[in-house]
């Protein structure tokens, strides 16, 4: 028996590859299936089952394409009603893979079809659980994502989650290994560990959700502080439930080369959004006007989903040369299948063609220290509210990037302001959005709060209510 965790950092997502005696199973595969096909061929094993823990909201699974390519059966837990052929398993149903077994543990709460898969080894011992979004390390799945589809409140779903954990997970042995669906950085939970594997015994001791005194306290704890889910989540659920276009076709279309003139014409004629995926250090010096900057070297796909929202939005890509296919693949992972082409030769080709460019006014933290008067100047901190509350520039305003469409409309375009995040990634996203909407009178700070703190700008952890955006 062999278990491999295939962890994708930019999505904070774990897929799992299990082999035994010439047979294999894959749990919660990503959209691009070629790496799995290559693994199967290299190991000389046959893929027997594709297990899905639930209808994912934060990414599009590769289950349909992988099943079509291998003839492996797709397996969901009870209550699942997909629009394609699959096995909807019964609670405690067993599936054999070589000498090991996978036992279905129906664990509703995150969604009503949510299922944990218990791996039973060759000796008949409970070895590991693949808990999907039911149990994370340090947290549990948020119970608010499926409330509309389930015709339940988040409190009712949280109650189901409590029962699932107490009746199905907690009775298992402490030495059972926990393989979760996500880790820190995922929007599917709020308190996840940076670790990606743990023992159930350690989670029983350390996970706040598993240590509540009763169901009422559990419901209150897991529903407290939940932020609104990103706009693209619903579309991803639908794609996972109904199926989707073959990923290879999507990639081929996205890899359409467009020279600068063709790129400009496509942008004007299709209403496509120009997505520039270069690093912020390159972007601020020059970019195609009205481009949105979301760097590939960061939490790229989740921020695309959060900022753009509509997965059907036509996209045109500006990328570092050689990175175009990687960008398109990462977009398909979150359901953005409508990439119509990319700028051949990247931004250098645009500039060489003597076309209009735009820039972002960026200064160093040291320069910011020289210029800023915290009593008079407006400073917008686009980190999460919890980050701002922990420590921030004195008199700065909490303006989370995720809520930019709400607070941007209150900006006085005649009044200058500064904008920063933790390190410069999110503030450049914000800057590009602001400029695309016509706001020009601001300065972005290189290196964000990390650099600002080192520069010695006055900071505090005092939370002034008037500095927090009203929700």
Tens digits of residue pLDDT in 69-116: 999 999 999 999 999 999 999 999 999 999 999 999 999 999 999 999
pLDDT of residue 230: 87
| CB of 194 closer than 8 Å to CB of 262 | no
Element at 317 (helix H, strand E): strand 315-318
Query: Which of 232, 315, 314, 324 minimizes the C-alpha distance to 275?
Result: 315
How many Å apart are CA 100 and CA 115, to the nearest integer?
Answer: 19
∠392-395-401 over CA atoms, to 5°?
A: 55
| CB of 154 closer than 8 Å to CB of 136 | no
266 φ, ψ (degrees, to nearest 5): -65, -40
* Segments of 324-441 assigned E as strands: 339-343, 362-363, 378-381, 392-393, 397-398, 417-420
| CB of 66 closer than 8 Å to CB of 36 | yes
**Strands 257-258 and 100-106, sheet pairing:** unpaired
How many Å apart are CA 172 and CA 201, to the nearest integer?
Answer: 9
| CB of 115 closer than 8 Å to CB of 104 | yes
pLDDT of residue 185: 84
163 φ, ψ (degrees, to nearest 5): -60, -40
| CB of 365 closer than 8 Å to CB of 451 | yes
**Residue located via tokens 């598993």:** 210
∠70-78-46 over CA atoms, to 5°?
A: 20
343 φ, ψ (degrees, to nearest 5): -75, 110
How many Å apart are CA 193 and CA 210, to the nearest integer?
Answer: 14
pLDDT of residue 40: 98
Burial of residue 263, with CB atoms counted within 10 A of its CB: 0-12 exposed, 13-18 middle, 19 or more buried: buried
Which CATH superfamily hosts domain 245-352?
Answer: Rhodanese-like domain (3.40.250.10)
| CB of 422 closer than 8 Å to CB of 383 | yes
CA 114 to chain CA centroid, Å, is: 19
How many Å apart are CA 235 and CA 238, to the nearest integer?
Answer: 5
How many Å apart are CA 302 and CA 10, to the nearest integer?
Answer: 8
Domain 362-467 carries which CATH code? 3.40.250.10
∠29-73-19 over CA atoms, to 5°?
A: 60
pLDDT of residue 471: 46
How many Å apart are CA 191 and CA 203, to the nearest integer?
Answer: 13
Element at 212 (helix H, strand E): none
| CB of 323 closer than 8 Å to CB of 296 | yes
| CB of 90 closer than 8 Å to CB of 104 | yes
Residues pairing with 247 in the sheet: none
How many Å apart are CA 54 and CA 108, to the nearest integer?
Answer: 9
Domain 2-234 carries which CATH code? 3.60.15.10
Which residues belong to CATH 3.40.250.10 in the chain? 245-352, 362-467
Rounded to the nearest 10 degrees, how much is the dihedral formed by the CA atoms of 196, 198, 204, 207?
-20
**Residue located via tokens 């790496």:** 35
| CB of 55 closer than 8 Å to CB of 111 | yes
How many Å apart are CA 356 and CA 251, to the nearest integer?
Answer: 29
pLDDT of residue 147: 81
Rounded to the nearest 10 degrees, how much is the dihedral formed by the CA atoms of 425, 431, 437, 438?
-160
pLDDT of residue 470: 61
How many Å apart are CA 179 and CA 25, to the nearest integer?
Answer: 15
pLDDT of residue 371: 95
Task: For residue 431, give the 3-state DSSP assignment.
Answer: helix
**Residue located via tokens 């959700």:** 209
Query: Which of 469, 409, 402, 396 minimizes the C-alpha distance to 438?
Result: 409
Task: For residue 238, give the 3-state DSSP assignment.
Answer: helix
User: In the numeric block, which tokens belong to residue 183?
Assistant: 């880790």
User: In the numeric block, which tokens belong to residue 310?
Assistant: 């509509």
pLDDT tens for the chain, residues 1 to 471 = 999 999 998 889 999 999 999 999 999 999 999 999 999 999 999 999 999 999 999 999 999 999 999 999 999 999 999 999 999 999 999 999 999 999 999 999 999 999 999 999 999 999 999 999 999 999 999 999 888 777 899 999 999 999 999 999 999 999 999 999 999 888 888 889 999 999 999 999 999 999 999 999 999 999 998 888 888 999 999 999 999 999 999 999 999 999 999 999 999 999 999 999 999 999 999 999 999 999 999 889 999 999 999 999 999 999 999 999 999 999 999 999 999 999 999 999 999 999 999 999 999 999 999 999 988 999 999 999 999 999 999 999 999 999 999 999 999 999 999 999 999 999 999 999 999 999 999 999 999 999 999 999 999 999 989 889 864
| CB of 137 closer than 8 Å to CB of 183 | yes
Which residues belong to CATH 3.60.15.10 in the chain? 2-234
**Residue located via tokens 């996203």:** 429
Element at 421 (helix H, strand E): none
How many Å apart are CA 50 and CA 64, to the nearest integer?
Answer: 9
């Amino acid at each position: 028996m062999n278990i491999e965790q295939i962890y994708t950092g930019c999505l904070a997502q774990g897929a799992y590859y299990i082999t035994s005696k010439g047979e294999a199973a894959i749990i919660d595969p990503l959209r691009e299936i070629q790496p799995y096909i290559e693994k199967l061929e290299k190991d000389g094993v046959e893929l027997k089952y594709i297990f899905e823990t639930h209808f994912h909201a934060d990414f599009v699974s590769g289950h349909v394409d992988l099943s079509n390519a291998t003839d492996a059966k797709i397996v969901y837990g009870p209550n699942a009603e997909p629009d394609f052929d699959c096995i909807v398993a019964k609670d405690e149903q067993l599936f054999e893979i070589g000498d090991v077994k996978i036992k279905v543990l129906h664990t509703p709460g995150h969604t009503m079809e949510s299922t944990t898969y218990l791996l039973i080894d060759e000796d008949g011992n409970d070895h590991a659980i693949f808990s999907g979004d039911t149990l994370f390390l340090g947290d549990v799945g948020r119970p608010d994502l499926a409330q509309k589809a389930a015709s339940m409140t988040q409190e009712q779903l949280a109650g189901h989650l409590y029962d699932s954990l107490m009746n199905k997970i907690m009775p298992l042995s402490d030495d059972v290994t926990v393989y979760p669906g996500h880790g820190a950085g995922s929007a599917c939970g709020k308190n996840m560990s940076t670790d990606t594997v743990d023992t159930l015994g350690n989670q029983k001791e350390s996970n706040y959700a598993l240590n509540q005194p009763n169901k009422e306290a559990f419901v209150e704890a897991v529903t407290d502080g939940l932020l609104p889910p990103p706009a693209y989540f619903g579309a991803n659920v639908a794609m996972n439930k109904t199926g989707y276009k073959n990923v290879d076709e999507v990639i081929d279309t996205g890899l359409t080369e467009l020279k600068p003139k063709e790129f400009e014409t496509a942008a004007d004629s299709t209403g496509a959004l120009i997505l520039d995926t270069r690093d912020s250090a390159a972007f601020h010096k020059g970019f195609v006007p009205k481009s949105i900057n979301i760097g590939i070297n960061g939490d790229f796909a989740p921020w695309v989903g959060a900022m753009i929202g509509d997965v059907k939005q036509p996209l045109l890509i500006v990328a570092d040369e050689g990175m175009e296919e990687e960008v398109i693949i990462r977009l398909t992972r979150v359901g953005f299948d409508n990439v119509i082409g990319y700028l051949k030769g990247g931004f250098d080709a645009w500039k060489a063609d003597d076309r209009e460019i735009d820039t972002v006014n960026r200064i160093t933290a040291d320069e910011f220290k020289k210029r800023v008067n915290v009593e008079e100047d407006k400073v917008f901190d686009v980190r999460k509210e919890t980050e701002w509350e922990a420590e921030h520039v004195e008199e700065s305003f909490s303006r989370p990037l995720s809520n930019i469409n709400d607070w941007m409309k209150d900006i006085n375009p005649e009044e200058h302001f500064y904008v920063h995040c933790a390190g410069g990634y999110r503030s450049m996203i914000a800057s590009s959005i602001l400029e695309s909407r016509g706001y020009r009178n601001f300065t972005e700070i290189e290196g964000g709060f990390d650099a600002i703190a080192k520069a010695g700008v006055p900071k505090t952890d005092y939370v002034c209510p008037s500095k927090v955006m009203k929700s």
